[in-house]
């Protein structure tokens, strides 16, 4: 076989002078690769040797490494390829005829349903073995059975270890191909290797240079194929196979972006934006936080960081997406519509690189309601995400010297506020522990936090977050301590109206249904009343006593509605709660229909209690 005169995969006569160049055996490739990597060859020898390698080798991981090393070495030791017609033509042929076809083959395999996929596409060598060994060609995605021509999923017929190895090698190959495509495109365009954001090159890219547009056309086609594949893969539930495909497509996207140069090309920018918009438009359908995190890491974040024009627009779309994943009622109760919401919240906070985003969230109560909801989430990992987001907000507000009712910046009290935040985070992190001896020493810091809320230094909702975590603790001792702490509070009406009343009805009341709170303590005598039960009447009296008529009416109506909404109550908790309500002064809280509904629910509740007859 003669590489010097015959036509290879790159097409056309490859040299003007007839030269016999015998394709080397695999054992000779090592020396050829070393010559290419050193960058010591002349232009013609370099081009002939590199062309011979790509003519005789399929795109495999090791070959991509050789070609990349050769291109980078040539750019370092010689004049740029953009000013050398011979190298420009060679790189252009490698990109269009050697790199893009296998990339498109893999990507387009995932842009159609299996039943419509081509059953005759050639297999691609994804073996990571060196050129000197025997390559084991593995057909990616699908194989064609002889005889009936039906398409079959190759992974389904292989052992689990072999299928996993194929996925790994496929992902590795796509990454190598995309990386090499980015390097060659950069070399052909003459963009400096150190940085893509050089003004003269940015202007050339941004203002529609036709030659540059043509050079980036292959990458634009790949991005359009990725967008089409995402539209198919993300439209329904994600299986294990689809997870792999989404990961592969995401890696291809992020690798092609390299350091942002190509995003400045108009046509390429539109194609990249299609991928981003496809991902964002389908987030609400997913219910997989891991896949969402992968897509944001490999698609959204690289695009925002690389783009100089669309970054702010994408952030606003992410902001709107976050709001669509949660519902917040007038009473501040948050409803989570999708499990991916906290992932989106985390990435939004990580993209807060300047003060612009604070203009959106500074006085936005819905954002803070979502953050506080995440801090008290039932899932430990979700709570960790919430703490991460809040830390980012506190750090950014501190550096930008912004202020809001949720993140105050009082003149001359910066050190005090930062100490309060440190105590707040310490309380939350400690309450993740289960050992009593670890938690108890830190609980004393709660007094300083509540005191700061009374003085309007901190917003009361932050104290509510800690109190909710106390009541949700796994250990009974901490729950009893937390319930006693709450019932011992005597708060002014300003604090009660800033979230404490909602906390009482939606969180404290259900927590008081716990039988274990009313158990006799070791130092109590037989027959003594429960300490928690005895604290409920004075606590409710203090709350009702400081409220004005409007808030008192609203609070009692909601409290009674929650108490008699049909939920099951144990006899002891119900006794103490009903007794406490009976000791309160009369409040006209219910309409006739509400009273009738409550009576039915109360009768059903009492029918299951041993004390029902006595209470009636």
Please name each of the domains of the chain with its CATH number: 408-522+532-615 (1.25.10)
Determine the Cα–Cα distance for residues 401 and 140; give it in Å rounded to an integer: 54
Residue 284: φ, ψ to 5°: -65, -20
- Which residue carries 């709350």 as its tokens? 543
Name the DSSP class of 142: E
Q: Which DSSP string corresponds to 377-414?
A: -SSHHHHHHHHHHHHHHHHHHHHHT---SSS---TT-H
Could you tell me which residue, 549 or 34, shows the higher pLDDT?
Answer: 549
Widest Cα–Cα separation across the chain: 111
Tokens standing for 416?
A: 């005090």
How are beta strands 142-144 and 151-153 bridged, if at all? antiparallel
Q: For the chain, how many residues are written?
A: 616
Q: Which of 195, 192, 191 minimizes the C-alpha distance to 209?
A: 191
Neighbours of 427 (CB within 10 A): 21
The pLDDT score that the predictor gives to residue 401 is 61
Query: Over the chain, what is the mean pLDDT?
Result: 76
Determine the Cα–Cα distance for residues 55 and 270; give it in Å rounded to an integer: 33
Give the pLDDT band (50/70/90) at residue 447.
Answer: very high
Q: What are the CB-based long-range contacts (under 8 Å, 24+) for 64-68? A: 64/173, 64/176, 64/177, 64/179, 64/180, 65/176, 66/33, 66/36, 66/37, 66/131, 67/94, 67/180, 68/179, 68/180, 68/183
Residue 25: φ, ψ to 5°: -75, 160
Question: Does 486 have pLDDT greater than 80?
Answer: yes
Asked whether 140 and 106 are in contact (CB, 8 A), the reply is yes
Distance of CA 535 to the CA centre of its chain: 44
Model confidence over 57-116: pLDDT tens digits? Answer: 888 888 888 888 888 888 888 888 878 888 888 988 898 889 888 888 888 776 544 433
The pLDDT score that the predictor gives to residue 1 is 42
Name the DSSP class of 499: I
The pLDDT score that the predictor gives to residue 597 is 73
Determine the Cα–Cα distance for residues 525 and 139; give it in Å rounded to an integer: 78
Q: What are the CB-based long-range contacts (under 8 Å, 24+) for 361-367? A: 361/393, 362/402, 362/404, 363/404, 363/405, 365/328, 365/332, 366/323, 366/326, 366/328, 367/322
Asked whether 502 and 493 are in contact (CB, 8 A), the reply is no
Residue 222: φ, ψ to 5°: -65, -40
Asked whether 167 and 243 are in contact (CB, 8 A), the reply is no
Asked whether 275 and 299 are in contact (CB, 8 A), the reply is yes
Model confidence over 204-235: pLDDT tens digits? Answer: 444 445 555 566 677 778 888 888 888 776 65
Predicted TM-score (pTM) of this structure: 0.76
Q: Which residues of 305-337 are buried (b: 16+ CB within 10 A; e: fewer)?
A: ebbeebbeebbebbbebbeebbebeeebebebe
Model confidence over 99-132: pLDDT tens digits? Answer: 888 888 888 776 544 433 333 333 334 333 333 3
Asked whether 262 and 216 are in contact (CB, 8 A), the reply is yes
Lowest mean pLDDT among 129-143, 306-320, 479-493: 129-143
Q: Which of 335, 324, 344, 349 minimizes the C-alpha distance to 377?
A: 335
Q: Is 335 helix (H, G, I), strand (E, B) or coil?
A: strand
Model confidence over 520-557: pLDDT tens digits? Answer: 887 777 777 889 999 999 999 999 999 998 899 889 88
Question: Does 358 have pLDDT greater than 70?
Answer: no
Strands (DSSP E) contained in 93-207 are 142-144, 151-153
């Amino acid at each position: 076989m003669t590489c010097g005169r015959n036509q290879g995969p790159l097409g056309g006569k490859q040299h003007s002078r007839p030269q016999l160049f015998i394709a080397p055996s695999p054992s000779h490739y090592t020396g050829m690769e070393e010559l290419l990597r050193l960058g010591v060859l002349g232009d013609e020898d370099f081009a002939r040797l590199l062309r011979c390698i790509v003519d005789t080798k399929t795109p495999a991981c090791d070959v991509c490494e050789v070609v990349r090393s050769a291109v980078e070495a040539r750019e370092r030791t010689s004049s740029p390829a953009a000013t050398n017609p011979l190298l420009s033509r060679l790189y252009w042929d490698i990109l269009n005829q050697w790199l893009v076809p296998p990339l498109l083959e893999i990507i387009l395999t995932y842009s159609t349903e299996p039943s419509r996929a081509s059953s005759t596409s050639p297999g691609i060598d994804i073996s990571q073995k060196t050129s000197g060994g025997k390559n084991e060609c593995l057909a990616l995605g699908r194989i064609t059975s002889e005889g009936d021509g039906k398409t079959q999923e190759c992974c389904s017929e292989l052992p689990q270890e072999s299928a996993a190895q194929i996925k790994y090698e496929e992902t590795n190959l796509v990454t190598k191909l995309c990386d090499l495509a980015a390097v060659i495109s950069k070399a052909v365009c003459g963009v400096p290797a150190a940085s893509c954001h050089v003004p003269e090159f940015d202007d050339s890219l941004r203002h529609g240079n036709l030659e540059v547009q043509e050079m980036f056309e292959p990458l634009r086609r790949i991005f359009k194929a990725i967008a089409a594949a995402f539209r198919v893969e993300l439209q329904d539930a994600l299986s294990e196979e689809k997870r792999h495909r989404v990961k592969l497509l995401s890696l291809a996207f992020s690798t092609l972006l390299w350091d942002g140069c190509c995003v400045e090309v108009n046509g390429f920018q539109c194609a990249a934006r299609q991928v981003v918009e496809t991902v964002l438009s389908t987030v609400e359908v997913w219910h997989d936080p891991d896949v969402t995190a992968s897509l944001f890491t490999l698609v959204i974040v690289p695009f925002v960081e690389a783009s100089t024009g669309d970054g702010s627009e994408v952030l606003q779309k992410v902001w709107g997406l976050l709001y669509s994943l949660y519902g917040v009622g007038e009473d501040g109760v948050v409803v989570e519509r999708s499990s991916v919401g906290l992932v989106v919240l985390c990435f939004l906070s990580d993209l807060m690189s300047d003060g612009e985003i604070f203009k959106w969230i500074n006085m936005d109560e819905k954002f803070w309601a979502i953050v506080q909801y995440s801090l008290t989430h039932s899932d430990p990992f979700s709570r960790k995400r919430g703490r991460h987001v809040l830390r980012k907000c506190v750090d950014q507000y501190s550096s930008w010297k912004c202020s809001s009712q949720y993140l105050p910046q009082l003149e001359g009290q910066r050190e005090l506020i930062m100490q309060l935040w440190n105590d707040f985070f310490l309380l939350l992190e400690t309450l993740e522990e289960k050992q009593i001896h670890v938690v108890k020493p830190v609980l004393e810091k709660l007094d300083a936090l509540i005191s700061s809320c009374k003085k309007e230094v901190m917003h009361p909702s932050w104290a509510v977050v800690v109190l909710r975590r106390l009541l949700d603790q796994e250990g009974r001792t901490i729950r009893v301590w937390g319930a006693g702490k709450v019932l011992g509070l005597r708060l002014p009406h300003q604090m009660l109206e800033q979230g404490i009343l909602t906390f009482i009805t939606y969180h404290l009341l259900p927590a008081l249904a716990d039988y274990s709170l009313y158990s006799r303590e070791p130092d109590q005598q037989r027959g003594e009343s429960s300490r928690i039960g005895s604290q409920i009447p004075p606590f409710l009296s203090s709350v009702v006593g400081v409220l004005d008529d409007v808030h008192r009416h609203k609070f009692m109506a909601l409290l009674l509605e929650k108490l008699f909404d049909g939920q099951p109550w144990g006899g002891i908790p119900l006794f103490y709660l009903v007794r406490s309500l009976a000791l309160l002064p009369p409040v006209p809280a219910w309409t006739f229909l509400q009273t009738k509904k409550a009576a039915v629910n109360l009768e059903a509740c009492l029918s299951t209690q041993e004390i029902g007859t006595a209470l009636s």
